[in-house]
Structures are given as C-alpha cells and as structure tokens.
C-alpha cells in the first residue's frame, strides 16, 4: 500500500520542481527584456535626450524607432530631400509610389539603407491637393504629412542577407526603425513593408501605383485592406546626387564610424551603456550618432519650398484633380 502513496508524492514533487525551474527561467527572460532599476532610469534619460531627434530607444529589441510626432514629419516630403541624403552621410535606396485618390495626389515612399551610423528602414505616407511647384531651383510636387496618423498601420520587417535587423509595426503614417552600430550596403538589405489602408479603394489605387513603377505580382500581395511590398532592388531612379564615387567615400566613413563605435564600447553590456560611454569619451562620435537619427541639413530645402507651397496652397484651396500627374526634379 505504501508504494501506492509514494509514487503520486514523487510525481507531485517532480512537478513542483519543474514548475519552479520554468518560473525561474521565465523571470530571468523577463528581466533581460525589461529594464529595471538603474537601467530603467538610464533608458528614460537617453530617451529624453533623443526626443528632439524624434526617436526613442526600445530596450526590448535593442532598436531605435521614430515617435508618432517625430520632427521629420513636420517637413512633409519632396524629391529634394532624397537628393540631400548622400550629402549628410546617408546612403539609402528610395522607392516612391505615386497614385491619385480622393481628389489628391498621394505618395507612399519606402527607404532602406545606411543612415550614418545605423542600418534601418522607413515608410512614409503623404498627400497634397496642389500641383507641381515651378521655380528656378525646384520643379516638382511638395507633399504634406498626413495629420490623422491613426488611419494607417505600417509594419516594417528589415533583413540583411536573411538575418533579421528589425521588425516593428505602428499605427502611424510615417514610421522608421534604426539599428545603431550596424553597417550595411543598401543592396544587402531587404524590406518587407505592410501597409493597412482605411479602405479597399485606396489600397487598389496604391496597387496601380506599384504596377506603374514596375512591381510584379511576385513582389507584392494583398489581403483585405493591407498590401505587403517586398522591396529589395529599387524600381525607380535613385537620387542623382548618389554617384558611385560619392557612395564609396561616404560608406567608407560610415563603416569606419560603426567600427569605432563597437571598438570603444566592446566592454559595455548594452546600448545604454555604450551611449553613455560614447558621450563621455568621444563627444564627436556621439554627435554623429544623434545625426544618424535626425539631421537638420537633410531638410534644408524646406525653407526654400515652404513659402512657395504655402502661396500655391492658398491659390488652389478648391483644386480638383482630373488628369494624371507627373513629378519631376531639377537641381
């Protein structure tokens, strides 16, 4: 009879041990994903410092993402910005997708590449009711940022040669993610971007825009109100300012800075410690880190275009789009 009681007790004790081990392991895992104590305070501190750049640090996946009200959103978009990217140390593949919907010109643009000292990706949604701006220094359409962010859901999945760099989604009309210290050639990166629209009509207009720039059925898919775009090699012409010579020189500098970042921080446990050490020991390199998130020079063209666009907007408050449009750039 005693054996009949011993076996259940042993099983019960064994189960308790297994449950205790699993609980301990899960607690350890949570602690690695959630900042605690001094680390949590440092995360808050660094995010307060990053706030002017429009980015925040996510301790959970060791990646930087843009805020919903990021500074860059306020500048809208025009081709001049893409032309400026190489001039501020950013070598990025650009993929603009144009379409008309609801009596407005729309633009969805995807970016992937090297943003100074970080590898990353971005997707932005813009529109305008205005036609092209024509001036001696700029000829093209200026797009405004979408005020109602909640109408769109953007999901970014960025890989480098099948190795995941970042994956995040946000209910925003402009969303970006950066992996600090990672160096990549844009051609080595593949971006899978999912965009969920307010309705199917808008989705189908976007699909027309994709096909117009050369996307095949293998490079995108649809489900309900969501389009999934596989962005590997750009179908559109890249900025004229991104020459082979300039790209080589800039990327050499970016790679060198990334290597310096990793070398200086080789004994640090996490990115928060790396940034703190970098700030104290190499202010110049730390400044380059901040410019990887936001560079005022990248939007220098806004001061040129904004007054012209405002005047055009006032003149065309009731503009109605009847004809397809074209977007050209002169520099």
Containing 125, the helix (H) or strand (E) segment is strand 118-128
Whose CA is closest to 118, among 42, 68, 186, 45? 186
Helix 283-293 / helix 244-264 crossing angle, nearest 10 deg: 120
* 34: region left, alpha or beta (phi > 0 left; psi from -120 to 50 alpha): beta
pLDDT per position as a tens digit, 242-285? 999 999 999 999 999 999 999 988 888 889 889 989 989 999 99
Q: What is the DSSP letter of 66?
A: E
Number of other CB atoms surrounding residue 258 within 10 Å: 21
Q: What's the pLDDT at 322?
A: 39
For residues 51 and 43, the answer to whether their CB atoms sit within 8 Å is no
Annotate 130-160 with DSSP letters as a single string: ---EE-SS-EEPPBEEPS-GGG-EEEEEEEE
Rounded Cα–Cα distance for residues 186 and 198 (Å): 31
- Decide if pLDDT at 205 tops 90: yes
Kindly state the average pLDDT of the residues 287-292: 93
Number of other CB atoms surrounding residue 161 within 10 Å: 8
- Decide if pLDDT at 208 tops 60: yes
Residue 41 pLDDT class (50, 70, 90 cuts)? confident
Rounded Cα–Cα distance for residues 109 and 92 (Å): 12
Rounded Cα–Cα distance for residues 176 and 186 (Å): 15
Q: What's the pLDDT at 297?
A: 80
The beta strand positions in 172-304, using DSSP E, are 174-180, 189-196, 220-223, 226-231
Whether the pTM exceeds 0.75: the reply is yes
Residue position matching structure tokens 């559109």 = 236
């Amino acid at each position: 009879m005693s054996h009949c009681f011993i076996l259940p007790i042993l099983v019960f004790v064994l189960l308790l041990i297994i449950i205790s081990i699993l609980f301990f392991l899960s607690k350890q895992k949570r602690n690695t994903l959630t900042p605690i104590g001094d680390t949590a305070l440092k995360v808050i501190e660094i995010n307060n410092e990053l706030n002017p750049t429009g980015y925040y640090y996510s301790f959970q996946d060791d990646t930087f993402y843009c805020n919903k009200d990021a500074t860059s959103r306020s500048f809208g978009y025009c081709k001049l910005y893409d032309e400026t990217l190489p001039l501020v140390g950013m070598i990025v593949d650009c993929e603009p997708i144009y379409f008309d919907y609801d009596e407005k010109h729309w633009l969805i643009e995807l970016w992937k590449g090297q943003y100074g000292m970080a590898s990353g990706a971005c997707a932005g949604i813009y529109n305008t009711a205005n036609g092209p701006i024509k001036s001696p220094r700029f000829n093209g359409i200026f797009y405004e940022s979408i005020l109602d962010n909640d109408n769109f859901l953007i999901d970014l999945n960025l890989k480098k040669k099948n190795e995941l760099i970042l994956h995040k989604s946000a209910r925003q009309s402009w969303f970006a993610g950066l992996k600090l210290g990672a160096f990549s050639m844009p051609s080595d990166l593949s971006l899978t971007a999912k965009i969920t629209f307010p309705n199917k009509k808008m989705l189908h207009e976007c699909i027309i825009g994709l096909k117009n720039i050369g996307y095949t059925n293998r490079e995108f898919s649809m489900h309900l109100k969501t389009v999934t775009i596989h962005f590997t090699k750009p179908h559109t012409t890249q900025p004229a300012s991104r020459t082979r010579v300039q790209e080589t020189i800039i990327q050499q500098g970016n790679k060198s800075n990334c290597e310096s970042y990793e070398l200086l921080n080789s004994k640090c446990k996490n990115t928060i410690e790396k940034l703190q050490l970098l700030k104290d020991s190499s202010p110049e390199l730390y400044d380059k880190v901040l410019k990887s998130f936001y560079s005022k020079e990248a939007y220098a063209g806004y001061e040129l275009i904004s007054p012209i666009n405002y005047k055009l907007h006032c003149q065309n408050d009731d503009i109605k789009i009847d004809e397809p449009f074209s977007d050209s750039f002169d520099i």
